[in-house]
C-alpha cells in the first residue's frame, strides 16, 4: 500500500513541474514589453504635410516645458491648449493608449486626470493628439507630469509646468444687513 502512494507522488510532481515549465515558455503576460515613447508638448501650430520624421523634428524643436493659458476668457474659464506628440519605439499593437496627468508640485504624484487615445492603425508609431487642460481641474503655476501608458505599463513621460493668472482675492468680506440679521427699521 505504501509503495503505491510513493509511485503516485512523483507522477504528480512531474506533471506539476511540466505544467509550470510549459506555462513559462509559451504564455506571455499581456504587457508592453520593450515599448518606449518620446513625448512632446507644443503650443505652436503644427505645419501640415510633414513626414513622420519632419513632425518629430518639429515637435522636438518646439517642445515646451511651460504651457501658457488662454487669455480670451475670464480667469475661472481659462484653459491650457497644446498638441501632444507621442512617438513610440515600435507599433503600439493595441487599440488605445492612456495619458495620465499628475500634479508633482509638492513631491509625490497626485493624480489629476486621465485621457484615453484610440488608435486607428495598430501599426502606427507616432500620434498627434490635441489636449485641453481646463480649470478648475488643473490649477495655474503648478508642475505636472504627463505619463503615457500602454496596457497599464508606463512607456513615456514628460514633466511640464502650467503658467497662468491666479484668481485675486482681496481678503475682505462684506455682508449685507439681511445676511447678518441686522436691525429692522
Residue 42 lies in a domain: yes
Quote the pLDDT of residue 22. Answer: 45
Report pTM.
0.73
Residue 9 lies in a domain: no
Residue 119 lies in a domain: yes
Question: What total of structural domains would you count in the chain?
Answer: 1
**pLDDT by residue for the chain (185 residues), tens digit each?**
555 555 555 555 455 554 545 444 444 444 456 899 999 999 999 999 999 999 999 999 999 999 999 999 999 999 999 999 999 999 988 899 999 999 999 999 999 999 999 998 888 999 999 999 999 999 999 999 999 999 999 999 999 999 999 887 766 777 777 767 665 55
Residue 134 lies in a domain: yes
> Which DSSP symbol is given to 47?
P
Report how far residue 152's alpha carbon sits from residue 13's, in angstroms, rounded to the nearest whole number: 35
- Please report the sign of the dihedral spanned by the C-alpha atoms of residue 127, residue 159, residue 83, residue 64: negative
Quote the pLDDT of residue 128. Answer: 95
Domain that residue 125 falls in: 37-163
Question: Would you state the cell numbers that stand for residue 179, as one nine-digit string?
Answer: 445676511
Quote the pLDDT of residue 168. Answer: 78
Report how far residue 60's alpha carbon sits from residue 45's, in angstroms, rounded to the nearest whole number: 13
Quote the pLDDT of residue 29. Answer: 40
* Cβ-based neighbours of 19, under 8 Å, separated by 6 or more: none
Burial class (CB in 10 A: 0-12, 13-18, 19+), 119: middle
Report how far residue 50's alpha carbon sits from residue 47's, in angstroms, rounded to the nearest whole number: 7
Residue 155 lies in a domain: yes
Residue 54 lies in a domain: yes
> Residue 48 belongs to a domain with what CATH number?
2.60.40.1930
Amino acid at each position: 500500500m505504501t509503495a503505491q502512494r510513493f509511485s503516485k507522488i512523483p507522477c504528480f510532481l512531474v506533471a506539476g513541474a511540466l505544467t509550470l515549465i510549459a506555462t513559462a515558455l509559451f504564455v506571455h503576460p499581456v504587457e508592453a514589453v520593450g515599448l518606449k515613447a518620446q513625448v512632446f508638448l507644443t503650443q505652436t501650430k503644427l505645419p501640415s504635410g510633414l513626414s513622420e520624421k519632419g513632425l518629430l523634428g518639429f515637435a522636438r524643436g518646439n517642445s515646451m516645458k511651460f504651457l501658457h493659458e488662454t487669455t480670451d476668457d475670464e480667469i475661472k474659464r481659462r484653459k491650457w491648449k497644446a498638441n501632444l506628440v507621442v512617438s513610440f519605439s515600435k507599433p503600439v499593437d493595441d487599440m488605445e493608449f492612456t495619458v495620465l496627468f499628475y500634479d508633482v508640485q509638492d513631491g509625490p504624484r497626485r493624480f489629476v486626470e486621465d485621457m484615453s487615445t484610440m488608435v486607428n492603425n495598430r501599426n502606427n508609431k507616432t500620434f498627434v493628439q490635441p489636449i485641453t487642460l481646463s480649470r478648475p481641474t488643473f490649477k495655474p503655476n503648478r508642475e505636472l507630469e504627463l505619463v503615457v501608458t500602454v496596457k497599464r505599463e508606463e512607456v513615456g513621460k514628460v514633466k511640464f509646468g502650467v503658467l497662468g493668472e491666479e484668481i485675486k482675492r482681496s481678503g475682505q468680506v462684506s455682508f449685507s444687513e439681511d445676511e447678518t440679521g441686522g436691525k429692522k427699521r
